[in-house]
Structure 1
Amino acid sequence: MSQAPIPANEQERLAALRALELLDSPAEAMFDHITALAAQICDTPIALISLVDAQRQWFKSQVGLDAEQTARELAFCAHAVAADAPLEVDNALDDARFRDNPLVTSDPHIRFYAGMPLHDGRGLALGTLCVIDRQPRHLDSHQRAQLQHLAQLTGELFELRLQARRQAEQSAMHQAMLDNAGSAVLVLDPQGRVLRSNHEAQQLLGYSPAELEDKYLPQLLLEPGQYERLCTACSSGPQSTEGQLRARSGQHLPVRLNLSPIRAEGQPLQGYLLVANDLSQREEARLRLQRIAAQLPGMVYQYLLRADGSSCFPYASAGIRDVYGCTPEEVSEDAGPLHARLHPDDAPQVHAAIARSAANLSTWHQEYRVLHPLHGPLWVEGRAAPQRLPGGETLWHGFISDISERKRGEQLQNEFVSTVSHELRTPLTAIAGSLGLINGGALGAVPEQMQQMLEIAQSNSQRLRKLIDDLLDIDKLVAGKMRFDLQPLALRPLLEQALRSNQPYAEHHRVQLLLLPGIDCQVCADAQRLEQVLANLLANAAKFSAAGQSVELSAVPTDGWVRISVRDQGQGIAQDFKPRIFSKFAQADAGDTRRQGGTGLGLAISKEIIEHMGGRIGFDSVEGQGSTFWLDLPQVGVQP
């Protein structure tokens, strides 16, 4: 066995790898999607995102392999990194570098390996996206090209992930502001000049925004030298003291001053955040501090919905300019200017969510688009806690933050999956059709020696086509392009049809499908999409049930909803897998799923479909005692 040479730029490469903050980080869905897709495209049982550290190779994502890391001297990937070039080994037993490698001679018994280097933004090779088989084989040109594309996307995702972490660090700075927020807020440069102020600061001191921005805090403080002493003390952290501010009117205002340095990690001082609480209203300021500090950074606000349906923002931080292009004053009496900047396609959902939150006093949480007058369309996320006031009005305390960068990253991922799926669909259809004709005898009798291989090829092509169909369904659902024809439906005939349609599949697994007795009722749903969801739930239940067991389908109306349940007697769902069960490509046991078949997309698609139809989906399961998957749909003619 020969070890891979150490690259000439090893120290620079290792520094770049650590700078990305990937090593020993938890699993992340976006990378698990890449390895799942690589394994499907290349038809291999194992796919890895491997990062080559100083003494080890560590797997950021793995399909079909339980190990989290191996020694570097054993790593095939180390050879690809050293050469900074693709590495493909058709049969490791024929390659002198690897034939006596423990990874070849023992578990996982590698025979075939293909790895594409993963590069950071500066072109440094950090690891590989690789696929592995326990049988000798060879990639075709299409598989090789797609693996190269996936490797390039993985490197781009490394950079996007790091950007997201940096944005989180920036948010931490904003959180420090909110942790110390009071009635009046001033952002200062290191010399104490006012850079920004909020509405309360302007009201408290009696200055306009423009007038305040010409002031220095030492001029506003009554006690000489107080600002300088606070700045010196801030070298050890935020400082708090009482003092007096001089208002424009000449009035001396008793305040509590909270001064916090603004400094990103490893960067020089950028300035200070000053929060001044008017001590004449100490209790009110304390409660506001608690409510605002409990929220995440962004545009901090209070939104008031009056009993007559009108609304306003009694308080809005200066961040409203960045999110909506409005000033706090423009919306302090009437929220109309802000509502006018909601994207027309999203405004109805935003207003409906506000109405639900007011009716139920439940937390308002929404992602939607804003038409900013300077920056164009922005994606924002808002969250707020409602409070019922004595006069029947509702007051929300919350925040809104710009998530456009996150949405662009999601769009990049979705567009990539959609493009790959569309490109594969046409040739795969032709391949599957040709194999079907051959196996069906259209070209004459198939020799016995070829029959099994052709049947395997046809089965795998159908399986890959199912994955692509699922990917396209997910793409349509995420993009809002899947059409739903919601109609009142008699439920009992639809359940009977679902049972008939899926009975052959269940019989193949020697499992019996049963429809339990129940009253007939109507639900509001799309018949075709509901059948798709039921087919997925029934197929999953049959697939993971033991021979001779039964699967029960039932429907029970309750409180304006109809709960449709699919109950099996299988092994149940592991506790650590439950939070991910409705995630894309989520599979509890990759090896078992490979034997049973499946793409890991069925439940994710089912969840999207049911929620698009105004319903809910969930499950109850105890490991070793089976599972019950259920979905709730609105019952026609009954108010929930």
Structure 2
Amino acid sequence: MHHTPEQRAAFDILLNDPRLRRITDFAAELCEAPIALVSLVEDSRQRFLARTGLEATETPREQSFCAHAMTGANIMVVPDATADDRFRDNPLVTGEPGIRFYAGAPLVSADGQPLGALCIIDTKPRPGLTPLQHEGLLTLAESVMTLVEKKRARVALEAEARQVRDERDDREQRFTILADTMPQMIWSTLPDGYHDYYNARWYEFTGMPEGSTDGEAWNGMFHPDDQERAWARWRHSLETGEPYEIEYRLRSADGNYRWVLGRALPMRDSDGQITRWFGTCTDIHDQKTAMEQRELISHELSHRIKNIFAVINGLIGLSSREDPEIRPVADKLRERVMSLGKAHDFVRPHSDASRPTKRQSSLQGMLEELLSAYQSEDGTRVSITGDDIDIDDRSATPFALLFHELATNAAKYGALSVPDGRVAIDMEKGTDRVCIRWHEQGGPRVSEERKTGFGSRLIEMSAERQLGGKAERHWNEDGLRVEIDLPASSMIRL
């Protein structure tokens, strides 16, 4: 018979089990028989898991009475084996133990699979079992199967637990191997933040003995100036479950401190409860040093460019003093150069300390900087609404010239020339096009004559030639309106 691995394991465990032996002893006494067996029928043999009155532990399957009994629905009774065609020539009948009478209750698993029989054997023929013996043998067979099924279930549960442990050990081994091969330092903590794992890279970087930085000891590896800040950020993540990210200096094996980027994310169960934190420390010291050097170079270049703007403005001023008749043009030119300087300073590379509050790719941020001289204290004189638009250093220059001209003209002739005047700038970003609207309100009525000046041509040149779009002006009763339509591709390099 084919038995599952769990059944075979259960049978091996139950072999000679004292509980089964008590059942065969009781069966023999109940039925007044010299022999009682719990027989397990297999492919080529029958094994006796428990036996009373018999020395043999197994016999060949072809000699088995129980192989017949286990297929029935009730107890199989053989009153005299010598008179039964199935068994008269059986060696167990013609030889030892000299079977004459046999009664076997089938042992069937919960899924209907016949396993063997609980049987009693006598060496003398008998007419059968009494009703009490018949019922008792069935009850004892049920007890045998209860033991077998419990043991099988326990074996299956233990096998499943073993498989889970093996799979977990395999996952842990895979994780450890993977973690140790990564260039980052990897760590994990319990939900309360207690550090209980570091990969090999951590110990290699810090030079600390394994296990020496468990718990809260890891904080001692931070630069003293960074400890309080790092702990505060870590406590915030533990309390809120928010991702952890911070830059700090970590002491390396040679005793020097290097900048690292620390990050961590929580792992949650099906109820959303945090079960563990996994984090990394990435050495960013070389990048940070390079950024600082780049910042120094950027400052130096910016300083030199500003000096060039200053020299240009100085030359313009000197020329206007020598030729007073060009002073009005010179003043306008100086203002335009200054607007270019502001645009350059906004989009140039910055460090964290010098970076503007607005994104450097933000058109709104650059316009706020450029038009700050015209803004009121309450921030309502110049309003910028709508979609923010990304720009780069290429598009910043024509934008600076364009909006500088609009603002200076408004300050001389339009809405910004009177205290109650207002300018509204609205930006709309589409898939392929960008539309920017300039609307003056509350100023004197504007004449269309303004469009013939150099400033008007400068606006057209910035919008059309440099940004590849167009600018349309409308002199309405309530103030000048300018609609600037540009291709999105001219805003920022892809």
TM-score by length of 1: 0.30
Q: Which has the higher helix share?
A: 2
TM-score by length of 2: 0.37
